[in-house]
Copies of this chain bind each other. A is one copy, B any other.
């Protein structure tokens, strides 16, 4: 039997619609609230930040949304992405489980992020936007928007969390290669950044702060809009291409996942893979275990509160109901920069609240052990974020072995670690520490949650 099984989906079978979980949730989500009035936002409230088309997608309850031809055309630069059965890893683990992964690292920027970056750049270009501002953690999102911007002739300005900016110089180089500007955050370019620096000039930054900076600049100029790489409904919508393809590819494999796994920061790679499968279940299909894996040092889903909160530190965004550690919570500087976010995508939070998914938290050292094991058998070096999903997949496969169960596991390997090798160097040199969750700091941050009437 072949040790390599890659399920190639022909480009002619590339899905032409995004899937929207909103259509199938058994209970509606809590509305998004205006930060001033605490009333549900109207589309016009979001107009300073996003073009109308994206606002409509943020709010739509349609089950399927057509992917524009120009976006499909760019998707075809790397999509369909491969679905691979990890037979060598299965053998090494001596598990009766079947382990599959969907590999999103084949995109030009190296992760799943271009799935939404291209869509957002397209709709903005259509609407006449000249410049996009955004935040980035590890840099996966920033480089993806830079890539997308270069294709549509948009200027892109990226605020990168300072600790990641310092850890990952090659990511900035990638953004520059695509023609974007990359600024360490907090910066002196915005009121939000200056306020943080005044208190602490050495602040390591956080996604919440970087979002404030990007939003502030976008709100100031008519020709400038803001783009977010996760969290929002329209981002989850665009990422559904991952799961839409995986449904077809699992069918090609003649198999069906019992367990779906993704790592969660804002939730978009997780939602991208699992929501199309969850939708099937909610429409009467079979039930599956769905597992969100997060870092122990920033355990939004496993330790956070389900409450209305701001998406950013300076409180410029609308209020969304989500699992949060408080918008002023700054997680320690561990290596999975893309998972260092105080909140969670409201759709993912809603799914957890409804008991449709499970959540689990892992410390980083064990994740890197799993990632190295994976690389030595499957060849691909996972991004530190994805190492959380790899660890969970291996743990579930070992549980199957213990229980003598031949279950099918599918996880999202949402990006490669080529730009994160310093993390691997630290791991090999024994310099990687497991960072503690600062529960006391989260308590302080949670005490500042907005008080709603």
Per the bound structure, the CA–CA distance linking A120 and B76 in Å amounts to 34
Add 11 more A-B contacts to A2-B76, A8-B11, A77-B378 (CB < 8 A). A4-B74, A4-B77, A5-B76, A6-B11, A108-B378, A108-B379, A110-B418, A147-B379, A173-B425, A174-B421, A419-B421
Chain B residues closer than 8 Å to A2, beta-carbon distance: 73, 76
Residues from chain B with Cβ under 8 Å of A418 in the complex = 110, 170, 174, 418-419
| Chain A positions near chain B (C-beta within 8 angstroms) | 2-6, 8, 10-11, 73-78, 84, 88, 106-110, 147, 150-151, 169-170, 172-174, 176-179, 372, 375-381, 418-419, 421-422, 424-425, 428
List of B residues within 8 angstroms of A151 by Cβ: 88, 377, 379
Q: Are B108 and A77 in contact (CB under 8 A)?
A: no
Which of B8, B110, B381 has a CB less than 8 Å from the CB of A174?
B381
Q: Once the chains are docked, how many angstroms separate the CA of A74 from the CA of B169?
A: 33
- What is the bound-complex CA distance between A75 and B424, given in angstroms? 26
B375 touching A173, Cβ below 8 Å:
no
Are A77 and B372 in contact (CB-based, < 8 A)? no
Q: Do the beta carbons of A381 and B177 come within 8 Å of each other?
A: yes
The distance in angstroms between the C-alpha atoms of A391 and B350, with both chains bound, is 51
Q: How far is the CA of A375 from the CA of B149 in the complex (A)?
A: 12
Indicate if the CB atoms of A176 and B424 lie closer than 8 Å: yes
CB pair A73–B177 under 8 Å, yes or no, is no
Query: Are B169 and A421 in contact, with the CB atoms below 8 A?
Result: yes
- CB-CB under 8 A from A176, the residues of chain B are 424-425, 428
Q: Is the CB of A179 within 8 A of B376?
A: yes
CA of A381 to CA of B150, assembled, Å = 13
B residues less than 8 Å from A84 (CB atoms): 77
Residues of B within 8 A of A378 (CB): 77, 108
A4 is contacted by which of B76, B147, B150, B173 (Cβ under 8 Å)?
A: B76
Complex-state Cα separation, A169 to B186, whole angstroms: 28
Chain B residue numbers with a CB within 8 Å of A380 are 108
A8: chain B residues within 8 A (beta carbon): 8, 10-11
Residues of B contacting A428 in the complex (Cβ-Cβ under 8 angstroms) = 173, 176-177
Pairs of residues from A and B, 6 with the lowest C-beta to C-beta distance, nearest first: A108-B379, A170-B421, A418-B418, A173-B421, A4-B76, A150-B376
A-B contact pairs, 29 of them (CB 8 A): A3-B73, A3-B74, A4-B73, A4-B75, A4-B77, A5-B76, A6-B76, A6-B77, A8-B8, A88-B151, A108-B378, A110-B418, A147-B379, A169-B425, A170-B418, A170-B421, A170-B422, A172-B425, A173-B421, A173-B422, A173-B424, A173-B425, A174-B424, A176-B424, A176-B428, A177-B424, A179-B376, A418-B418, A418-B419
Who on chain B is nearest to A88 by CB?
B151
User: Distance (Å) between the CB of A1 and the closest chain B CB?
Assistant: 10
Cβ of A222 to closest chain B Cβ, rounded Å: 26
A74: chain B residues within 8 A (beta carbon): 3-4
Question: Residue of B at shortest CB range from A420?
Answer: B170
B residues less than 8 Å from A381 (CB atoms): 108, 174, 177
Query: Cβ of B106 and Cβ of A178 under 8 Å apart?
Result: no
| Shortest Cβ distance from residue A89 to the other chain B in the assembled complex, whole angstroms | 12
In the assembled complex, the CB of A148 is this many whole angstroms from the nearest CB of chain B, namely 9
Closest B residue to A173 by beta carbon equals B421
CB closest chain-B residue, reference A417: B177
Closest to A143 in B: B381
Report how far A168 CA is from B372 CA in the complex, Å. Answer: 20
CA distance A375 to B88 in the complex (A): 34
Contact residues in B for A372 (Cβ distance below 8 Å)? 177
Q: Kindly list chain B residues whose C-beta atoms are within 8 Å of the C-beta of A150.
A: 375-377
User: In the complex, what residue of chain B is closest to A147 when comparing beta carbons?
Assistant: B379
